[in-house]
């Protein structure tokens, strides 16, 4: 049984996580595609593990024959190299759709070929050839009475929900726009028919909730599916009242509650945002890869044709552009491919080119809570040594405090490869056949610290508990000074009321530091409250003097008499 790596979202709980960002070394090229065999990947491969075996599994849109290929690369590569086979069942020019790990050890991918065969969704078990994944209906391309007709044309980046279900888009311009679910048993259901929200008004084509999904992401905890819908050969895709005056709609961000999912295309859809073409960029029609969507904590991050944005579900006013590409020198231009949320909590992605016509960039966005996220370019690709036109990233394993991300480029990788003038035309964008590469991230220390209880009364005790992963030489600060182990607990009894902040700082693998803190609030003891017949309150007010105070008064009086 193979399984995919799923990057967990950090759950901070009561602790305040102040982890520093990770650092990246140069990319490691794992394979360079050549004139023979597999050529020109359109998406990054998936990383799968089974027992002690691990590997990359992907597809290419071209080869030295008429068809694309499916390939695998064992990790670490002990000399076997890339293993690939012609993907004849996918037809010609069809492998531009999603590739996703279904959660049960298999991969699911789509094909929407120009010719040679019909549209198909495949299930791929490592060690065997991909096979048709749809058993019901028997022919999904059949007429609507028995299938989905033209609606079944796999599109976009797929998503899995952790229960073996895979979600994908399908459609073609102004007909057959839908959202589908494939079950582990092979049942294909159309959950949403976006044609239900189509109107023709004054000879204009209106899709009030968008057309077909370009990218999807499943929130497994909430049981919700999010997606971004394209605008494709239509006049309106979204709500025209939701974009600035003089601008035009360019697709939608939508939400589907999976508890309300129903076959037949009638699952309710909620539009969360309509993209404005000029102000925010658009969601292009594509088979996959041009725009992406990912969930990082309580936010969604995604790309348009020109920007990276964020949105917090449940807050309709939270949509914001994080970065607009191509406006500054040395920046990336045209975001492309899947985004990744790494173990450091940051979002990583790639751009197709650079503002000065370079071979592409890898970028990072570090979330900043309610403030502005931090965007930075981490690497500019070299067409000869790294490859050109990167196509996104996928997460890999964490080993000894370092996480590996994997990616691919669609061109370049050989000495003498050059860039063309046009990034839009793949045939002219760059020479070469692409690469597979790995990025190693030195992760910051993951520090988890908590206090139980966090609220107490003076005189009571609290127990601090902590664990540290990927850090060394930890030191307590403030009211908790001294060297600390990587895991432990201590019981402390604050001697005054007020707030106590306990901070643990550790060294990272990259030489930097990371810290985490927890605050304990200490209330005055009941005897400090003062007033009434209980006496003893520092605020006074009618109580008798304590015996100790009377004794001191008498001693002073006797002393004074003796002096006289």
CA distance 412 to 473: 43
Q: For residue range 106-158, what is the model confidence (pLDDT) as tens digits? A: 999 999 888 888 899 999 999 999 999 999 999 998 888 888 887 888 989 99
Peptide bond preceding 453 in cis form (omega within 30 of 0):
yes
CB neighbourhood size of 233 (10 A): 13
* Residue 398 near residue 442 (C-beta atoms within 8 A): no
Task: Name the token pair of 58.
Answer: 């992907």
User: 280-308 as b/e, with b when 16 or more CB fall inside 10 Å?
Assistant: bbbbbbbbbbbbbbbbbeebbbbbbbbbb
pLDDT for 12: 32
Greatest pairwise CA separation for the chain in angstroms: 121
Write out the DSSP string of 202-247.
TTEEEEBTBSSEEEEEEETTTTEEEEEE---S-SEES-GGGS-TT-
Cα 145 to Cα 129: distance, rounded to the nearest angstrom? 31
Based on its alpha-carbon atoms, the radius of gyration of the chain, rounded to whole angstroms, reads: 30
The candidate with the shortest Cα–Cα distance to 105, out of 154, 43, 162, is 162
List the pLDDT tens digit at each of the 564 positions of the chain.
Answer: 444 444 433 333 323 333 344 455 789 999 999 999 999 999 999 999 987 789 999 999 999 999 999 999 999 988 889 999 999 999 998 899 889 999 889 999 999 888 888 899 999 999 999 999 999 999 998 888 888 887 888 989 999 998 999 999 987 766 678 999 999 999 999 999 999 999 999 999 999 999 999 999 999 999 999 999 999 888 999 999 999 999 999 999 999 999 999 999 999 999 999 999 999 999 987 655 689 999 999 999 999 999 999 999 999 999 999 999 999 888 999 999 999 999 999 999 999 999 988 999 999 999 987 778 999 999 999 999 999 999 999 999 999 888 999 999 999 999 999 998 765 555 678 999 999 999 999 888 889 999 999 999 999 999 999 999 888 999 998 778 999 999 999 999 999 999 999 999 999 877 788 899 999 999 998 765 544 433 333 333 333 334 344 343 343 333 333 433
Tens-place pLDDT, residues 361-394:
999 999 987 778 999 999 999 999 999 999 999 9
DSSP string, 268-315: --EEEEEEEHHHH------SSSSS-EEEETTEEEEE-SSEEEEE-TT-
The tokens 């003038």 sit on which residue? 421
**3-class DSSP assignment, residue 151:** helix
- How would you class 438 by CB atoms within 10 Å of its CB: exposed for 0-12, middle for 13-18, buried for 19 or more? middle
């Amino acid at each position: 049984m193979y399984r995919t790596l799923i990057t967990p979202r950090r759950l901070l709980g009561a602790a305040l996580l102040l982890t520093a960002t990770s650092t990246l070394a140069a990319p490691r090229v794992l394979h360079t595609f050549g004139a023979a065999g597999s050529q020109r990947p359109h998406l990054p491969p998936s990383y799968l593990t089974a027992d002690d075996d691990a590997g990359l599994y992907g597809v290419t849109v071209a080869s030295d024959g008429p068809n694309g290929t499916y390939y695998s690369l064992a990790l670490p590569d002990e000399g076997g190299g890339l293993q690939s086979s012609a993907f004849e069942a996918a037809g010609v020019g069809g492998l531009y759709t999603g590739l996703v790990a279904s959660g049960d050890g298999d991969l699911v991918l789509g094909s929407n070929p120009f010719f040679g065969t019909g549209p198909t969704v495949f299930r791929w078990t490592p060690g065997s050839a991909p096979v048709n994944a749809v058993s019901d209906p028997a022919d999904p391309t059949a007429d609507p009475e028995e299938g989905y007709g033209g609606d079944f044309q796999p599109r976009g980046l797929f998503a899995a929900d952790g229960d073996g279900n895979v979600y994908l888009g399908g459609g073609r311009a102004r007909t057959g726009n839908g959202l589908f679910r494939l079950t582990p048993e092979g049942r294909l259901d159309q959950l949403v028919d976006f044609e239900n929200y189509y109107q023709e008004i004054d000879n204009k084509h209106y899709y009030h909730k968008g057309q077909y999904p370009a990218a999807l992401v499943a929130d497994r905890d909430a049981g919700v599916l999010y997606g971004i819908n394209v605008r494709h050969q239509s006049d309106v895709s979204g709500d025209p009242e939701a974009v600035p005056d003089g601008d035009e709609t360019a697709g939608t961000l939508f939400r589907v509650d999976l508890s309300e999912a129903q076959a037949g295309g009638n699952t309710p859809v909620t539009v969360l945002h309509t993209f404005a073409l000029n102000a925010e960029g658009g969601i292009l029609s594509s088979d996959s890869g041009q725009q992406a969507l990912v969930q990082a904590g309580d936010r969604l991050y995604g790309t348009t044709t020109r920007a990276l944005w964020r949105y917090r579900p449940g807050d309709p006013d939270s949509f914001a552009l994080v970065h607009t590409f191509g406006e500054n020198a040395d920046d990336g231009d045209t975001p492309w491919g899947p985004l990744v949320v790494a173990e450091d909590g940051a979002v990583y992605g790639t751009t197709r080119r650079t503002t000065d016509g370079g071979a592409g960039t890898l970028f990072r966005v570090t979330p900043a809570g309610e403030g502005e996220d931090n965007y930075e370019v981490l690497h500019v690709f070299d067409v000869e040594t790294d490859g050109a036109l990167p196509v996104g990233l996928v997460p890999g394993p964490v080993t000894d405090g370092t996480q590996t991300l994997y990616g691919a480029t669609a061109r370049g990788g050989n000495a003498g490869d050059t860039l063309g003038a046009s990034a839009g035309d793949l045939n002219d964008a760059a020479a070469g056949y692409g690469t597979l590469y790995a990025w190693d991230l030195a992760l910051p220390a993951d520090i988890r610290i908590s206090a139980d209880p966090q609220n107490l009364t003076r005189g009571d005790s609290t127990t601090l508990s902590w664990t540290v992963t990927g850090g060394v030489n930890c030191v307590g600060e403030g009211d908790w000074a001294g060297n600390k182990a990587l895991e432990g607990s201590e019981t402390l009894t604050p001697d005054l009321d007020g707030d106590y902040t306990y901070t643990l700082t550790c060294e990272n693998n990259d030489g930097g530091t990371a810290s985490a803190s927890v605050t304990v609030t200490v209330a005055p003891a009941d005897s400090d409250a003062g007033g009434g017949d209980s006496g003893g309150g520092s605020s006074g007010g009618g109580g008798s003097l304590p015996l100790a105070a009377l004794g001191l008064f008498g001693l002073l009086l006797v002393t004074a008499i003796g002096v006289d």
